[in-house]
Amino acid sequence: MSEHHPPLRSYGRLKSRAIKPRQAALMETLLPAIRAPGGPFDPRALMPDATEAWLEIGFGGGEHMAAQAARRPDVLVIGAEPFQNGVASALRHIDEQGLQNVRVHDGDVRELLARIPDASLERVFILFPDPWPKARHHKRRLLQADLAAELARVLKPRGRLRFASDWSDYVDWSLERLGKAFRWTAERPDDWRMPPADHVTTRYEEKRLGDCAPVFLDFIRD
């Protein structure tokens, strides 16, 4: 397990608006029950009968995470998100759907990764992260070389990683960094132009806030 990590820093606001009363109540009741452990842990220990363990990094409002967990109740889905409004929204989805296979880390994903052992995940999702499009802000992007290396550490051999973005520069940036740690599986343009069969489109994605159509990059850890 990695021992040295750069100082953690969250960019932007951790809370952007008032949290609705119902969601605020879930932050007090549901979140403590499903929060990922604060110390080192094996994801499988959280759900011993799980067939796989997945991680979604930056789950936004939690739509995709909840939908994937509902489709696959046999899979433990761990979500990491530092922004309180997103966590609160995700808790509503989890509560409404009665999901028992979701755990949440309400903080920086690097803190979470540092606590889990090598080769402990089968799948990782990084969907539409903040693109920080200005060149002087590229250092703020979530996906850096050190994170790619850490994800390669925690993924099992043949483990899968999906990155999606609607900012062309971030797609190129991510392909360069992830391509050094994983094998890109695309064989034809439709493999990155078309949403994968198991993708769940969210309201955020439908807003098309980027400068290109959504691009989906699927990778495998050899």
Return the active site residues: 130
What is the signed CA dihedral for 179, 124, 116, 130, rounded to 10 degrees? 80
Distance CA 101, CA 219 (A): 24
